[in-house]
Amino acid sequence: MRHKTMAVAGAVLGLSLSVAACDVRLNFGGQQAVESYDVTDKVTVLDTHTASGDVVVNESDRTGVHVTETLHWRGDKPANGHSVDGDTLRLAYKCDDCSVDYKVEVPRGLTVKIDTGSGDITLRDLTGQVNASAGSGDLDARGLAAKQVNTRTGSGDITLRFTAVPDQVQAVTGSGDSRLWVPDGAYNVNASTGSGDRRIEVLDDDSAPHTITVRTGSGDAEVHKA
């Protein structure tokens, strides 16, 4: 096991960060690297893409973004997978035989965009706009105070728990349950399921300014009072 700490110039990567890493040889012949770093550049958007791997995003009172990534690969180690483009922090590796898990702590109000091919998405206490999709995996979000939340899974459950009234919510699954908990009030609800139960506990009012769309191909579609 090898531990290292290093500083990387922002002029090279387009960001300012410090890194602590640990490389481990895995028993199935692959490799693993765990790196943690702080991004001090002023960003307003987190854009995360992974073909395979879990993504966890938490919001706090911190001023910068803190990232811990666990990279698994075979053959040559993939090149650096993080960069800043304008006001956007991009997290993504380009590799044919690798997976990466992300744990990210973001400042309040940051817009969060996530796209995973295979892996779970976990979101906690987010207040900024959310756009998240998983091809295969569950999406679990709690403590949400975001006004706009758009979520989608091909195969996996969606669970959204709000602490504040949202303006627009979308939860779409191909195969899996979609369950939402929102504060009491009137909502314009569009809920449908191809094969599953439909349950709406909030007041459904077509004239309400707050809209909720829940669609499942195979699974339950539910909207509950928080």
Q: State how far the Cα of 76 lies from the Cα of 48, in Å rounded to an integer.
A: 22
CB 142 within 8 A of CB 124: yes
pLDDT score at 7: 31
pLDDT confidence of residue 39: 96
Higher-confidence residue of 14 and 50: namely 50
Q: Which domains are present in the chain?
A: 41-225 (2.160.20)
Question: Which token pair is 127?
Answer: 């207040």
Q: What is the pLDDT of residue 148?
A: 99
Whether residue 107 has pLDDT greater than 80:
yes
At residue 155 the predicted structure's pLDDT band, cuts being 50, 70 and 90, is: very high
Model pTM score: 0.87
Q: Is the distance from CB of 188 to CB of 168 less than 8 angstroms?
A: no
Mean pLDDT rounded to a whole number for the chain: 89
Each residue of 21-80: pLDDT tens digit?
444 334 334 899 999 999 999 999 999 999 999 999 999 999 999 999 999 999 888 888
pLDDT band at 101 (very low <50, low <70, confident <90, very high): very high
Mean pLDDT of 175-191: 98
Task: Label residues 84-115 b or e (16+ Cβ within 10 Å = b).
Answer: beeeebbbbbebeebbbbbbbbbbeebbbbbb
Decide if pLDDT at 17 tops 70: no
Per-residue pLDDT tens digits for 187-211? 999 999 999 999 999 999 999 999 9
